[in-house]
Amino acid sequence: MNLEEKVIALKEHQKKLKAYTHVSSLLFYDASTSMPPGAAQSMSDTMGVISGEIYSLTVNPEFKALLNDLYEQREALDFQTRREVEELHLEQEKMEKVPKEEVVAMEEAENLANHYWEIAKKTNDFSIFAPHLEKLIEMKKRYAGYINPDGDVYDTLMNEYERGMNRAQMDPFFDALRKKLVPLIKSVGEAKQPDTSFLAGPFAIDAQKALSEYVMDVMDIDKDRCILRETEHPFTIEFSKNDVRITTKYVEDDLTSNLYSVVHESGHGMYELSIDDALQFSVLGAGATTAIHESQSRLWENYIGRSLPFCKLIFPKVKELFPDQMEGVSAEDFFRAVNVAKPSLIRTDADELTYALHVMVRYELEKRIFEGDLTVSELPAEWNRLYKEYLGIDVPDDTRGVLQDAHWAGGAFGYFPSYALGTAYSAQIYDALRAEVDVDACCEKGDFAPVRQWLTEKIYRHGMLYTADELIEMTCGKPFDPAYYVDYLEEKFSRLYHL
Ligand SMILES: [Zn+2]
């Protein structure tokens, strides 16, 4: 094969890989949204087989030879193809260190654990989930050992989500955040609190559904390529840029939970929907990193969605759908109420100010689990102790404590730090966005095309062509600086609470 033929073979390989990951994601989506509970075991067997096929596609002698040839000649390739070769080469080097049986067993164990986590959460019984969690932790330790035998286990796991991330970088990031945030949260707690009584409902689920549709329209989400469904834990999953699925959860006595979940997931969705067509069948046709993805959902949820101009834009619709609850309430009252900062139990419902502390609890626990310093049976009590220490609140049950997130059930250890990092990225990206686009005017007009165009140009369209560091530098003209995040929080909450 000459170089041109090799490149064609590489593109065909990626198309096949995309098809298999499409199937795998579709099964995961089905298991989360509509599978009957009795099908958990057979679904997990099927997912194991599919992940084995994906493994064999990546790790086989024929493809290895092709990839090695292309890797050696990468300087002669166009930019996209060179990046694809680099990405696949890295993935292949990593995966061939892990035995196929281990990959299949891990996929099966994760799907089963996810099923038992759901039951444990519903029944507030950690013991149902505990043996599955123990098994996953052991598997992840082995997995990290295969990939990076001399490395630190937790650093290796974090790298699965954010390449290059390690504790040496994250510890000072979190320390700096904690030093600034804890006193600020204390001052806010002592200040006069806004009236939030009108957010307690009840809010009819049908009317909340109408609000979800309205918000997706306001953000101009293409419903021809993106649909909204319901799950216990809201998420976004994409099969291609033409098929993005987002989910939400409706709670009768909480309007903002669904409202801001939809804005958040639509932010993730908009990113996927706007990736360049040229990347459609490429391994690079996805968000750059977990934290960059989260920066985009947070940018919409908090920086735009919780701003006064955005609240003014959507409040007439809120009032129309919930006239009794919103009687005598103004858009400014609504804005103040959706920005209330108060330590709470649930991470996904946390306000902007206390959010990072929820992530810090998980980060501390994960580090200790993988250092061998904390056992699964000690986990619920340690969770509760840290919530008391960091957020000052008592956790009444495991459903609202250690069982609240789906991540560990899906084997995602080392994922949580990306949330805090992504939120910090979004502060800096928002600053750059506002320097070039009049976001407030977009809210006033209800037309976010200029915002979307800017984000597409700077971030969305590139998919995984660039690293997180490169994207931040290209978008903001300087390297990542967490000071933007802390400054933003200090400025916003000092103003809101007249500190
Ligand atoms: Zn998210």
Tell me the β-bridge partners of 243. Answer: 240
pLDDT at 445 over 90: yes
Dihedral of CA atoms 399, 404, 408, 414 in degrees, nearest 10, equals -140
61 C-alpha to ligand 1 centroid (Å): 37
What is the model's pTM?
0.91
Query: Domain segments of the chain: what residues?
Result: 3-129, 167-496
Q: How much is the pLDDT for 232? A: 80
Question: What confidence category does residue 32 fall into, taking pLDDT thresholds of 50, 70 and 90?
Answer: confident
Is the predicted pLDDT of residue 202 greater than 90, yes or no? yes
Average pLDDT, stretch 252-276? 96
Active site residue: 107, 265, 272, 352, which one?
A: 265
Burial status of residue 183 (CB atoms within 10 A of its CB: 0-12, 13-18, 19 or more): exposed
Distance 273 CA to ligand 1 centre (A): 15
Structure confidence by residue, pLDDT tens digits, 377-403:
999 999 999 999 999 999 999 999 999
What pLDDT, on a 0 to 100 scale, did the predictor assign at position 44?
A: 86
- In this prediction, residue 107 carries a pLDDT of 87
Residue 161's pLDDT is what? 92
Instruction: Compute the mean pLDDT over every residue in the chain, rounded to the nearest whole number.
Output: 95
Nearest alpha-carbon partner for 133 in 410, 417, 416: 410
Contact (CB, 8 A) for 218 and 446 = yes
pLDDT at 256: 93
Coil, strand, or helix at residue 175?
A: helix
**CA–centroid distance, residue 424 to ligand 1 (Å):** 13
- Answer yes or no: is pLDDT of 499 > 90: no
Please confirm, yes or no, whether 265 is among the known catalytic residues.
yes
Burial class (CB within 10 angstroms; exposed 0-12, middle 13-18, buried 19+) of 224: exposed
Radius of gyration of the chain (CA): 23
Q: Is domain 167-496 in CATH 1.10.1370.30, yes or no? A: yes
Task: Please report which confidence band the pLDDT of residue 317 belongs to, taking 50, 70 and 90 as the band edges.
Answer: very high
Give me the mean pLDDT over the 414-442 stretch.
97
Cα of 293 vs centre of ligand 1, distance in Å, is 7
Measure 247 CA to ligand 1 centroid, in angstroms: 11
Distance 272 CA to ligand 1 centre (A): 13
Instruction: Give per-residue pLDDT as tens, 125-175.
Output: 999 999 999 999 999 999 999 999 999 999 999 999 998 889 999 999 999
Distance 268 CA to ligand 1 centre (A): 7
Cβ-based neighbours of 154, under 8 Å, separated by 6 or more: 144, 167, 366, 367, 370, 371, 413, 414
Q: Using 50, 70 and 90 to split pLDDT, how confident is the model at 69?
A: very high
- Give the confidence band of 201 by pLDDT, cuts at 50, 70, 90: confident
What would the pLDDT profile of 335-352 be if each residue is shown by its tens digit? 999 999 999 999 988 999
Q: State residue 243 phi and psi, 5-degree precision.
A: -150, 90
Q: Ligand 1: distance of its center to the CA of 418 in Å?
A: 10
Q: Which of 41-45, 259-263, 321-325, 359-363 has the lowest mean pLDDT?
A: 41-45
Ligand 1 center from residue 213 Cα (angstroms): 19
Question: How far apart are the CA of 289 and the centre of ligand 1, in A?
Answer: 12
- Which tokens sit at 75? 């300087």
Query: Residue 288 pLDDT > 90, yes or no?
Result: yes
